[in-house]
Structure 1
Amino acid sequence: MDDRDLVLTGGCLCGAVRYRAHGAPLFAGHCYCADCRKASGSAFVPFMGFLATAVEFFGETQQFRSPSFRGGDAVRNTCPTCGSLVYGGEVGKDDSHTIYAGTLDDPTLFQPSVAIFAKDCPSWSPIPATLTAFPTMPDQETPSEG
């Protein structure tokens, strides 16, 4: 299958918020920043990035805003019914969106390649050796030994 023919679908636990992403993600990995850890209740958030034009969203979300690493706001969208963390970004405003890989209908389609904010990784959750680790954001830092 050609990557352009790939369609990834997913949504929240109760099904009220859904998405459809067309084509392969621009990037995929694990984020170990404190915000993602607290938002997910886990050691990291598995994520995939897509251009806004490649993703369709269905259903109303509840948004939470927090300061982002690059300035401005990080916008996380959750289902107001079940509370699932589904995607990042503001529809109609942002040029790209982050899909949280745990929401995929077929989780085998997630193929992470990077670990970001590796400097914040808790000792109890080692970064897989197959990921290229960056201390903060990839365009800000050179990879570190994972």
Structure 2
Amino acid sequence: MSDWKLPWSGACLCGRVQVHVTEAPVFASACHCRACQKLTGGAYSLTLMLPASGLSVEGETEIGGLHNPVPEHHFCPSCKTWLFTRGIADGQFVNLRPSLLDDGAWVRPYADTYVTERLSGAQSGARIGYPEFPPVEDYAELMSGYAREGVRPD
């Protein structure tokens, strides 16, 4: 845990919602699907997948985005910043937007997802790419690879 330099803190754009990370991420990815492009207003959505118990939130959030019960996209009700997504792998994980972190400049995705919908010229620096989401049977190896080779905070 020491090589991750935890805990981390962060906030939405207006600061009304604070996040605190106490457990190391298990995976980092960049999703290039059209929904993530529209939710972020960018070329892709950068994600740190954390154990659900490793994220605490201060402040109220609202469900937005696709308004699905699973996954739940949580936003700040004031500034509308997309904060995190709950409901990953039956609630075991949460996907945090690392741009919320006070220091998230170190984050680099290990894998790209939905490269079939990637905007031309959009490169994330990921080592691996998947046409859509990785098959469930690939996640153990992806998490293992990220544990060995994933970028850590400076």
Q: What TM-score comes out, normalization by structure 2 length? A: 0.77
Find the partner of 2:129 among 133, 138, 141. 133
Look up the match of 1:49.
49
CA 1:17–1:67 in structure 2 vs 1: closer, same or farther (change >3 Å)?
closer
Q: Secondary structure at the match of 2:105?
A: helix
CA 1:54–1:127 in structure 2 vs 1: closer, same or farther (change >3 Å)?
closer
* Pairing 1:87–2:87 present: no
Look up the match of 2:22.
22
Aligned length, in residue pairs: 136
Deviations 1:82-126 (A, max 9, x none): 111111116xx8222110111111013423211111111011313
| Distance across 2 between alignment mates of 1:140 and 1:134 | 12
Gap regions ≥5 residues in structure 1 = none
Deviation beyond 3 Å, 4+ runs, structure 1: none
| Distance across 1 between alignment mates of 2:31 and 2:137 | 15
Deviation at 1:13, TM superposition (A): 0.6
Deviation at 1:55, TM superposition (A): 1.1
Task: Give the 5 Å matches for 1:55-94.
Answer: 55-64=55-64, 66=66, 73-89=70-86, 94=91
Gap regions ≥5 residues in structure 2 = 139-154
Give the structure with the higher percent strand: 1
| Distance across 2 between alignment mates of 1:20 and 1:9 | 5
| Distance across 2 between alignment mates of 1:123 and 1:5 | 35
Deviation at 1:140, TM superposition (A): 5.4
Give the structure with the higher percent helix: 2
| Distance across 2 between alignment mates of 1:97 and 1:50 | 5
| Distance across 2 between alignment mates of 1:122 and 1:140 | 25
Deviation at 1:35, TM superposition (A): 1.0
RMSD over equivalenced CA pairs, Å: 2.5
Say whether the 8 Å CA contact 2:31–2:112 is kept in structure 1: yes
Amino acid at match of 2:135: D
Say whether the 8 Å CA contact 2:114–2:133 is kept in structure 1: yes
Q: What TM-score comes out, normalization by structure 1 length? A: 0.80
| Distance across 2 between alignment mates of 1:135 and 1:67 | 24
Deviation at 1:66, TM superposition (A): 2.6
Amino acid at match of 1:112: P
